[in-house]
Amino acid sequence: MYVDKKLSGVQCVQTLSRLNRTTSGKTDTFVLDFVNDTEVIVESFQPYFTSTVLTEETDPDKLYDLIYEIEQYNLYTKYQVDEFCKEFYKRNDSDEKLHPIIDVVVDKFKDTLDSDTQEDFKSKIQSYIRLYSYISQISSFSEVSWEKSYVFLRFLNKKLPKGIVEKISVIDSVDLDSLRIQMIGESNLSLEDKTGELEPMTGGVGGIGEEEKELLSEIIERINSVYGLELREEDKVDIQNVEKRLGEHGEMRKVMVGNNTDDVKQEFFEKLLKEMFVDYTGERLDFYKKVMDKKVFSHLKNSLYQNYQNTFRETNP
């Protein structure tokens, strides 16, 4: 398994539990890359070890708060919700009459909201859908408007444009033919035999968390471990200087703020990085050869680009 970011809570449990799946020929498991501390893993698994209880009941009135927040975007009216539900509950074989009602809302979503506000809106309606779906299974209530909103928003959520998610590829960063397998450490993680406690659902908005910036020392340590190199302290200083120059580069900033795809941004970043490393072909030729190795450069470029993106988001909210 390749784990490229820190995990916690139920996400950690779900992800790592997949290692226990059985299949023909499987005798052992192998985590290629992992950044969590063992304490976080134990803390995530502990609530589910024996039995689990809720510390308090989930408050259905949270649905009122969410609906109020959703309606503040002024993307649809109660009349549209009513019209949609009339058609929906006719149980026709076709849903062709439902689409025009939703399409009006989708067009308004695209035309009136910026990208950040669009993500906020989608997060709120997804929170409402999850919370209503959960509460409706354990409690009965006579608030018809909640059911109507649930039906409407669930259909709307499917038609809203999906956000651009950067696909992670490890093909260029990992050469399995020459991979040096080395056990970095071994831990005996033990769980306590006690009842776990979980907080109730609150309907809070779950946004997309920012990935933490990697320390340059961590990047170099991983490169040395995976590729068997010996990037030293002076090499770290040189890479640090390059990273600083990239952060201050005006053209790179223009590409980032411009209407460019992520592929274009990465290509420009890679071009600049290569140009800056060329400056070391004189007295630091040995350093240049190390970092320009195809596999090492790809790994280094991906890590530095991710750090650059995170820094750029922090300074340009």
Digit-coded pLDDT (tens) for 154-200:
989 988 987 654 555 555 655 555 555 566 666 666 777 766 655 55
Residue 31 has pLDDT above 70, yes or no: no
Helix axes 262-278, 233-248, angle to 10 degrees: 130
Q: Give residue 117's pLDDT.
A: 92
pLDDT tens column, 53-94: 544 445 667 888 888 999 999 999 999 999 998 888 776 656
pLDDT tens column, 33-53: 566 677 777 777 777 666 555
pLDDT tens column, 95-134: 678 889 999 999 999 999 998 899 999 999 998 888 887 7
Residue 207 has pLDDT above 50, yes or no: no
116-122 long-range contacts, CB within 8 A, separation 24+: 117/73, 118/160, 118/161, 118/163, 119/163, 119/207, 119/208, 120/205, 120/207, 121/70, 121/73, 121/75, 122/157, 122/160, 122/163
Give the residue extent of every domain in the chain: 62-159, 216-315
